[in-house]
Structure 1
Amino acid sequence: MIDASKPLRVLVPEGSSTSAREAITILGLAGHHVELCDPSRWCLARTSRFVRKFHHCPGLRTDPAGFLRFVERLLASQHFDVLLPTHEQGFLFARVGAQLTSRVALALPDFAAYRTVHGKAGFSRLLDQLGLPRPPTRIVRSAEELRAAVRFPSVVKTSVGTASRGIWFVRDAGDLNRALGDLESGADFADEVLVQDFIAGTTEKAQSMFCRGKMLGFHAYQQVAAGIGGGEAIKQSVSRPAIRGYIETIGAHLGWHGALSVDVIMPLDSDTPLLIDCNPRLVEPMNAYRAGTDLVDLLLRVSRGEIPASLGESRAGVRTHLAIQALLGSASRDGTRRDIIRECGRIVMGRGAYRDSTEELTPVRLDWLSAVPLAMTAVLLLGSPRIATRLARGGFGAHLLDRASIRVIEREDFLRDASTGRPGEGRDP
């Protein structure tokens, strides 16, 4: 572990994701000085006693060049030991490479490796190349190809998308027509679209940390109860040596450096885990932390050029929950005010699925300010349960990438435009 008597100054470049919120709690508990920047003044992570200072910045999606200039100026004007991307900023930071690492410690693979797993189509091809298991998948570029490729039931996905955006469950012709309408209206066929056979099973996530292709830490958990949009409301740590081996193969092949997470389906009719999606970043690290695997500490060490000893296996059976996700999930499933009150009671009293579970997103006993978003969510849902979907969409903010912003970042002249601030390519807050 990093010596808590020598706290690091850490800049977290977004605070709207659940992953950032949990990483900040772990950083704060370790005694590190945490500062945060985000395009939303009311982002989730701002309500934390562990955030020493907030910086309002341009949006990664709406103004990637301006966001980069803002971060660079912040690094030039203040001392930070580590830049800790917790979401899609990693795509931009990997693109600029040495431009940032000359100023601050940062752990990311090279841009080619990052691009390979950032898109679902690229990750699917990588799994084929490495001979790793995944659901039967077809990649299409038009409505006609999609109609020919789909087999009911299927899951249709855009190649780029996060937080459950760009995913359709297609069970019949009606679902297919609705998906086609959304894809065509969003011009998503300008990029690749995936069609995967639907596999009945349990959703799990596997998280890992690498140093130049060597795995240093691994953790896996299964979904016990779903929140809104398919996210986890309750999760429990599990032992998955086979999945560890798969991710070790991926990381070694790519020479991965930093955090790498993979979504997995454990089929009901098979013992073979199927890899479905990849997140080239840290994802909600608190369950791992509670289970004895501190991925945030590993990421800090790797960022600073250390080569830590590999961690042992996480403890299985550790249960954690996200109360906000649980309440949103209850409301989104046609929940009534009475249902929401009952869910609140179960969470507070630790009953039912919450028995022996600890809160990971808004740990009020550790961070009293985290009560603010939790209380606001409960009050708004009690006022109108139907608002759940709208509240969940608040997480799909300007801290995320879309197809247009990705193409801007990939352009050959992006670095020049970002440094010169050409009109139309960036604006300061």
Structure 2
Amino acid sequence: MAASTHVPRPLRVLVPEGNSTSAREAITILGLSGHHIEVCDPAPFCLVRFSRFVRKFHRCPGLRDDPAGFLAFVERLLATGQYDVLLPTHEQGFLFARVQERLRDRVGLALPDFASYRAAHSKAGFSRLLDRLSLPQPATRIVNSPSGLRDAIKFPSIVKTSVGTASRGIWFVRSSDDLDRALQDLNARGAFADEVLVQAFVPGAIEKAQAVFCRGELLGFHAYRQIAAGAGGGEAIKQSVARPQLRSHVAQIGRALGWHGALSVDCIMRDDGAAPLLIDCNPRLVEPMSAYLAGFDLVELLLRISVGEVPAMAGESRADVRTHLAMQALLGCASRGGTRRDIIRECWNLATGGGPYAGSAEELTPLRLDWISAVPLALIAMVLLAAPGRGVALARGGWGAHLLDIASIRMIESGEFR
């Protein structure tokens, strides 16, 4: 596990959502470090409710459906003066970056200015940034109409909406039939009201990097490779890697944006061994337990930045540390058409540390550290054993009210939130 980088005292931390894997993992790390954790979320039985580390839960309006109500709720909590740090673990950072002048005197918060956050949050904005910095990415076209998409497409390609996280809004287009289905989905979502990206498909392994910055300076870095996919393109098994070239690229991005806080970047390590191609950016930490188990506590570093410290460069994690998410593994098995026998085999390997899980540590539901995390994992296993075909629907259940859409983004960008 990570070496301690404790701030001088336990902090009172407000986590403004509780249904993402990133929030669940951050709460484990915060709890192990002795911090007081409170969570607000619209779902009464969200994932983090099943943690011994959460001291208090507040049911709030949903960010996507009522961003003004969500912000007012958070501000009422902050007005009590009971919190040291507000720790956005998902897309709440978009809203908080927009109004951070209103929040700065009430609580510790590590976010860049809104223009920088918006550039990293938008896939089109990130692609333009990479062009400006001459950093490598797949061949990319940005379009805003169905006809523009048809003109830009070459098979195979990846089509992405400019807004989307948690693997939403991505289509692998191999044929005209795939393109027709993608266009149907894009039109149904109203995606052409914004921008749509068309990227050349490049074979290779998916790797991800997580970093913490202080006023544009990179302080901490962790990278890992996807060993096995879970549901919706997420990771079921990861392995930490040393990637000095990727670290250099991430540092360049953070400097260009004057980044303050957490930033994560996805890339493709090409089969031909050429330089990694950057494909996505998330203005937050994504599932930080991988770094923690590889010896580097990025969450604690982010807390120190949030309360105004300027730490010295802390370094990076160890390579070759394997971790997994049992829930993602089960959902991934079922969503790929796994039978009841396949799911039983997966459960056995997870319970015994066999097969691909040999030498691997659990990230999301660490039963030895947080016994109540067994509840959602057991429920998922029972549902899938009863009806393996429900894997895709269960995975989509995590795409909840903590995620933004085009309408809520436009609302937050309006004058009401200045």
> Which residue does the alignment assign to 2:370?
367
2:283 aligned to which of 274, 280, 285? 280
1:404 aligns with 2:407: yes
* Equivalent runs, 1:11-410 vs 2, <5 Å: 11-410=14-413
Give secondary structure in 2 for the equivalent of 1:92. helix
Note the alpha carbon deviations across 1:10-30, whole angstroms, 9 max, x for none: 000000100000000000000
- Report the alpha carbon displacement of residue 3 of structure 1 after superposing the two structures with TM: 4.1
Give secondary structure in 1 for the equivalent of 2:292. helix
- Report the alpha carbon displacement of residue 249 of structure 1 after superposing the two structures with TM: 0.4
- RMSD of aligned residue pairs (Cα, Å): 1.0
Q: Which amino acid is 1:310 matched to?
A: M
> Which residue does the alignment assign to 1:427?
none
Tell me the distance in 1 between the aligned counterparts of 2:213 and 2:368.
32
Tell me the distance in 2 between the aligned counterparts of 1:132 and 1:414.
33
Tell me the distance in 2 between the aligned counterparts of 1:29 and 1:4.
13
Q: Is the 8 A contact 1:331 1:386 kept in 2?
A: yes
Tell me the distance in 1 between the aligned counterparts of 2:324 and 2:71.
34
Tell me the distance in 2 between the aligned counterparts of 1:408 and 1:3.
38
Share of identical aligned residues, percent?
Answer: 70
Q: How many residues align?
A: 415
Unaligned runs of 5+ residues in structure 1 are: 416-429
Tell me the distance in 2 between the aligned counterparts of 1:189 and 1:3.
46
Change (3 A) 1:398 1:5: same
Q: Which amino acid is 1:23 matched to?
A: A
Tell me the distance in 2 between the aligned counterparts of 1:186 and 1:66.
24
TM-score by length of 2: 0.98
Note the alpha carbon deviations across 1:286-326, whole angstroms, 9 max, x for none: 01001111100000000011011212231100000000000
Q: Is the 8 A contact 2:99 2:417 kept in 1?
A: no
Bigger drift between 359-368 and 178-187 goes to: 178-187
Give secondary structure in 1 for the equivalent of 2:309. coil
Note the alpha carbon deviations across 1:100-120, whole angstroms, 9 max, x for none: 111000000000100111100
Change (3 A) 1:79 1:171: same
Q: Is the 8 A contact 2:6 2:300 kept in 1?
A: no
Tell me the distance in 2 between the aligned counterparts of 1:39 and 1:117.
26
Change (3 A) 1:18 1:98: same
Unaligned runs of 5+ residues in structure 2 are: none
Q: Is the 8 A contact 1:4 1:31 kept in 2?
A: no
TM-score by length of 1: 0.95
